[in-house]
Amino acid sequence: MTAKPIGVGVVGCGKIAQMMHLPTLQELPEFTIAAICDISEKVLGEVGEMYGVERRHTGFQALIDDPAVEAVLICNFDHGKVVEACLKSGKHMLVEKPLAFTPSEGRPLVEAAAKSDAVNLIGYMKFYDEGYVEGCEQIRAAGKPKSIQVHDFAGVFDPYDGLYTLSRGSDVAPELLSKEPADAAARIEAELGPDHVAYRDLYQMLLMLGSHDLAALRGAFGAPETVLYARAPNMSHIIAVLGFANDVTAVLEVSFGAQYEWWDEWMEVHGDTSIVRIDFQHPYVRNAPATVRVRKPANGKGADTVMTPLPEDAFRREWQHFARCIRDKETPVTPIAGGLSDLELALAIIKALPPLKG
Ligand SMILES: NC(=O)c1ccc[n+]([C@@H]2O[C@H](COP(=O)([O-])OP(=O)(O)OC[C@H]3O[C@@H](n4cnc5c(N)ncnc54)[C@H](O)[C@@H]3O)[C@@H](O)[C@H]2O)c1
């Protein structure tokens, strides 16, 4: 007998929900889209029609309380309070990155999740990218790293909107639209403290873009022990040197705003006798796993092997894993504790920058 699909409620039906999550949920037999929530009535109406979802809410608590909802996808702007409400409800949850905006917000969430029987994942879809998984295996096989570099200059985003049919919330009142970002900014400023408050936008950039890179690094090597160095050439560009056990270091460089037509995000690891490089693909492209290049000696020469996995989709694999966690008690690959670890590292990187008055 086929199992009943898991009813998912989606909070925040913006770009990433429409580009990736909703189509994936619609096509996977493990799930049904039970309800949707957005502060935009226009988005609620258009997305609701497109996916045939009758249960529509403008407040996230109403969605969480909806009896048709067994699991919640959190895709709005300010995640922390939705995660908190979800944990209280005991429903399963998949929260997009970042877990919250500050470690102070994230800590009680992770403590509550540790006491919960529900599945609580963070949406670091790269962990489900077959190219990344293969790359990590190659990195382990290469032995102790002599050098680790993680680089994310991203690329253009807007042209990718045209690849999908998107509904946008042009009806939301400007006061409502600006309220959550203003609240979040105040909480971040308090956490950064007076000497680093001027780096607020840089910290947010590190969370919104760079958290994938912090997570990818953690997935391959564990969380760094220290931040040895950090500098910011400008307020959308950060360079840091991170220290691991046994004198292993990693250079992290994240910058937003490059107008590349290609996606520029990679991790390169130099071992004693080989080099492994993982090139990530644009997050807005479906079925585009990372490619892996391994350079090794062969017959006294250097030889490159390029691995291009089957074009499986990382978001789809993430959802399939989520279903197995719920139904088969599979061990979560991306528990929300990882999201807290990345928030702590992002804050430590910013705090390692020279003090700067706002
Ligand atoms: N995994 C990835 O690669 C990836 C890529 C893009 C975005 N994201 C994450 O997904 C989240 C959403 O990003 P996006 O690009 O879709 O943003 P978006 O602005 O396009 O969508 C957010 C949606 O949430 C709605 N919303 C805002 N506040 C709300 C609230 N309180 N309750 C209900 N709905 C609310 C907005 O109206 C909007 O429709 C962000 O946290 C972002 O970090 C992840």
Sign (positive or negative) of CA dihedral 21, 289, 322, 209? negative
For the Cβ of 39 lying below 6 angstroms from any atom of ligand 1, the answer is yes
The rounded distance, in Å, linking the Cα atoms of 249 and 246 is 9
| Ligand 1 mean position, distance from CA 166 (Å) | 13
On the CB side of 321, CA atoms within 13 Å amount to 22
Structure tokens at 6: 């898991």
| Ligand 1 mean position, distance from CA 310 (Å) | 29
Q: What is the pLDDT of residue 1?
A: 64
b/e per residue, 275-302, with b = 16+ CB within 10 A? bbbbbbbbbbebebbbbbbbebeeeeee
Closest CA to ligand 1's atom 2: 283
The rounded distance, in Å, linking the Cα atoms of 250 and 152 is 14
For the stretch 269-318, pLDDT in tens is: 999 999 999 999 999 999 999 999 999 999 999 999 999 999 999 999 99
Query: Does residue 64 contact residue 72 with C-beta atoms inside 8 Å?
Result: yes
| Ligand 1 mean position, distance from CA 11 (Å) | 9
The rounded distance, in Å, linking the Cα atoms of 352 and 337 is 23
Q: What is the pLDDT of residue 2?
A: 78
Please give the DSSP secondary-structure letter assigned to residue 198.
G
The rounded distance, in Å, linking the Cα atoms of 226 and 223 is 9
* CA distances in angstroms from 327 to 118, 315, 351, listed in the order given: 11, 18, 42
For the Cβ of 13 lying below 6 angstroms from any atom of ligand 1, the answer is yes
In the chain, the domains with their CATH numbers are 6-124+315-334 (3.40.50.720), 127-312+343-351 (3.30.360.10)
Our mutation pick for probing the ligand 1 site, out of 13, 16, 20, 46, counting the most ligand atoms within 8 A of Cβ, is 16
b/e per residue, 21-49, with b = 16+ CB within 10 A? bbbbbeebebbbbbbbbbbbeebbebbbe
Sheet architecture: strand order including 92-95: 56-57, 31-37, 6-11, 71-74, 92-95, 120-122
- Predicted TM-score (pTM) of this structure: 0.97
Query: Does residue 27 contact residue 7 with C-beta atoms inside 8 Å?
Result: no
For the Cβ of 76 lying below 6 angstroms from any atom of ligand 1, the answer is yes
Q: What is the pLDDT of residue 68?
A: 98
Torsion angle (degrees, nearest 10) of CA 29, 35, 38, 41: 120
Region of residue 214 (left: phi > 0; alpha: psi -120 to 50; beta: else)? alpha
Strands 249-255 and 264-270: unpaired
Q: What is the pLDDT of residue 317?
A: 98
For the Cβ of 277 lying below 6 angstroms from any atom of ligand 1, the answer is no
- Range list of β-strands (E), the chain: 6-11, 31-37, 56-57, 71-74, 92-95, 120-122, 147-154, 226-234, 237-243, 249-255, 264-270, 275-279, 291-298, 301-307
358 residues of the chain, pLDDT tens digit each: 678 999 999 999 999 999 999 999 999 999 999 999 999 999 999 999 999 999 999 999 999 999 999 999 999 999 999 999 999 999 999 999 999 999 999 999 999 999 999 999 999 999 999 999 999 999 999 999 999 999 999 999 999 999 999 999 999 999 999 999 999 999 999 999 999 999 999 999 999 999 999 999 999 999 999 999 999 999 999 999 999 999 999 999 999 999 999 999 999 999 999 999 999 999 999 999 999 999 999 999 999 999 999 999 999 999 999 999 999 999 999 999 999 999 999 999 999 999 997 6
Q: What is the pLDDT of residue 212?
A: 98
